């Protein structure tokens, strides 16, 4: 069985094996991917996000996709991941997988020392049509200072990113400083500019599957709450004008602030069942398996 690295160049050979919303991350800073093959057939695959000490969250490893049709394939892929993080001072490997399709992988991870649990995903998903029924969306919350991202110059975009990251706002993108403007849906994403400076930014990314995810939602200043609601209002109404009502929007709820916002936007909406797990790694110079 052979282990092959996933790159932007080799992805085309495996486009029917790697999910499209996972595959689009190959080539981004911090993302690593490998496949196992036997002859002409794929037998497993893994993609993880590995951040160094210099990243906003510090050294970390999160497996975002793992598939193993054979025990040998799963073992090889996990070994490749562990070998990689040994050089990065990562103490724990975290993993999250859809529960519906990952029973075999859960067992392999548990056999490899991961503590696994059935949990609810942080992400809530709802169609655009559901958002338009929310009370505050029916109110006119237009701001003359909020503009679609498509109207921003390259300089304004860079300025907006720098200001948000300087305040510690990276959203779901550890690599935010490296992402081009074209990565985001420019007609739905928006920003707020007041007194010659950008003080609010909503960045939405359209995935290959057609789903859209709010990657960053941040504002600074005394009126930041009003600006956040104003940007959400404009972004969702723009999405409704451009896309079918069944188009799904993903809202992340990874902390108390985003949890509260998620409850306002999609009240009572549950995240999909996932297997969430982690494994604590031994010291960097040990060879414990």
Per-residue pLDDT, 246: 97
* Rounded-to-integer distance, Cα 121 and Cα 213, Å: 14
Q: What is the mean pLDDT of residues 252-267?
A: 79
Q: Are 25 and 37 in contact (CB under 8 A)?
A: no
User: Cβ-count burial of 289 within 10 angstroms (0-12 exposed, 13-18 middle, 19+ buried)?
Assistant: exposed
* Rounded-to-integer distance, Cα 187 and Cα 241, Å: 10
Residues 117 and 213 in one domain: no
Residues 36 and 134 in one domain: no
Residues 137 and 255 in one domain: yes
Answer with the residue of higher pLDDT: 195 or 63.
63
pTM: 0.90
Average confidence score pLDDT of the chain = 90
Residue 138 sits in a domain whose CATH number is 3.40.630.30
Per-residue pLDDT, 20: 96
Residues 49 and 107 in one domain: yes
Q: Helix, strand, or coil here: 5?
A: strand
Residues 113 and 157 in one domain: no
Residues 135 and 189 in one domain: yes
State pLDDT tens for residues 82-130: 998 887 788 899 999 999 999 999 999 999 999 999 999 999 999 999 9
* Rounded-to-integer distance, Cα 9 and Cα 15, Å: 11
Q: Give the range of the structural domain holding residue 201, as residue numbers without chain letter.
A: 124-265
Q: Which of 52-61, 211-220, 229-238, 241-250 comes out lowest in average pLDDT?
A: 52-61
Residues 204 and 250 in one domain: yes
> Does the residue 6 lie in any domain?
yes
Q: Where are the beta strands (DSSP E) in 141-189?
A: 146-148
* Rounded-to-integer distance, Cα 66 and Cα 68, Å: 7
What's the structural domain count of the chain?
2
pLDDT band at 284 (very low <50, low <70, confident <90, very high): very low
Residues 111 and 155 in one domain: no
> Does the residue 52 lie in any domain?
yes
Residues 221 and 136 in one domain: yes
CA separation, residue 270 to residues 17, 69, 122 (Å):
28, 30, 9
Residues 130 and 105 in one domain: no
Per-residue pLDDT, 54: 82
Q: What is the mean pLDDT of residues 133-150?
A: 81
pLDDT band at 56 (very low <50, low <70, confident <90, very high): confident
Residues 103 and 178 in one domain: no
Per-residue pLDDT, 289: 42
State pLDDT tens for residues 5-21: 999 999 999 989 999 99
> Does the residue 287 lie in any domain?
no
End-to-end CA distance of the chain: 20
* Rounded-to-integer distance, Cα 32 and Cα 274, Å: 21
* Rounded-to-integer distance, Cα 217 and Cα 193, Å: 15
Q: What is the mean pLDDT of residues 184-193?
A: 96
* Rounded-to-integer distance, Cα 38 and Cα 2, Å: 6
């Amino acid at each position: 069985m052979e282990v092959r690295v996933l790159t932007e160049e080799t992805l085309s050979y495996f486009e029917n094996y790697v999910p499209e919303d996972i595959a689009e991350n190959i080539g981004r800073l911090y993302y690593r991917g490998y496949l196992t093959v036997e002859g002409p057939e794929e037998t497993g695959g893994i993609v993880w996000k590995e951040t160094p000490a210099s990243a906003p969250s510090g050294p970390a490893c999160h497996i975002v996709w793992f598939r193993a049709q054979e025990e040998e394939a799963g073992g090889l892929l996990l070994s490749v991941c562990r070998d990689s993080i040994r050089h990065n001072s990562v103490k724990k490997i975290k993993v999250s997988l859809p529960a519906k399709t990952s029973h075999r992988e859960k067992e392999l991870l548990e056999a490899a020392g991961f503590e696994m649990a059935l949990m609810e995903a942080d992400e809530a998903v709802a169609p655009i049509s559901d958002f338009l029924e929310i009370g505050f969306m029916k109110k006119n919350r237009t701001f003359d200072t909020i503009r679609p991202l498509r109207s921003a110059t390259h300089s304004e975009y860079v300025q907006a990113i720098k200001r948000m990251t300087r305040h510690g706002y990276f959203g779901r993108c550890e690599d935010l400083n490296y992402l081009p403007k074209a990565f985001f849906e420019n007609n739905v994403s928006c920003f707020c500019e007041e007194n010659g400076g950008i003080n609010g930014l909503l960045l939405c990314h359209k995935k290959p599957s057609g789903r859209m995810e709010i990657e960053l939602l941040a504002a600074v200043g005394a009126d930041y709450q009003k600006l956040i609601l104003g940007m959400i209002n404009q972004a969702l109404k723009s999405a409704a004008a451009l896309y079918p009502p069944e188009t799904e929007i993903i809202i992340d709820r990874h902390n108390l602030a985003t949890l509260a916002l998620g409850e306002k936007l999609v009240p009572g909406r549950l995240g999909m069942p996932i297997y969430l797990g982690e494994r604590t790694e031994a010291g960097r110079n040990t060879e414990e398996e």
